[in-house]
Chain A
């Protein structure tokens, strides 16, 4: 990242290649349309390039930083109404998967981690999982979720907190790490 911060386009290309699939996958999951997801992907990586000086290694990995940018841009697009019906976000599944035959070791590890996270999410109480998914993947605010689910905002926030805490515990136990 130091080279990217110095304006090295070749170094940026390496970062792009390493993280573009994860970034596109998240954008697609949120936007539900290939064209919108591609717009978000492009926009996010240009933000990354133009604000790379703001990256602070002490605050997390490059991957997490990129995915946070993608998430923010996708939420912006959702709230501007540039993408599909937000209420349908959880109904759609991805149709274009990374080809299994071309799996690298890194992808295999990624798939294993994906299974763990999906398993942990599935293990959450439904009401906690739902508020987390509506917020993170649907881009709905806590106020909107409270209105949709007809419950107090405080309850929504409490479920988010409990759900995330539980998710973290489950993932930590999968990794054999004490939380």
Chain B
């Protein structure tokens, strides 16, 4: 009898908890609107969805600045995913969508490195280092050969 009373009480608490939780959750959320239609829903065409997902992994979430929009649950990242998916579904190429965002936020929004006036040393230095190493190696090996002869 006692145990049944206790279990009834537990059920009561669970019911209260369950009825209160849905009301407290939105208060904690950033905003009150549901996510954009294509924030969490995949495109019907698997090929287009694959294109969109690949692109989303290389776009930076503007709110949570070290995540891609594919990894972020921020509402704004959801809205950006919606933009990417609807634009891809409308026939745009991934690079066009990337360019659309870069036109608005600069290179910052893209994780794909590009050769620009400020980034070219990043691409040039490794090439120079390899050339220099080749040059030194050739000098040393050439000399050794010369010594042997």
A associates with B: no
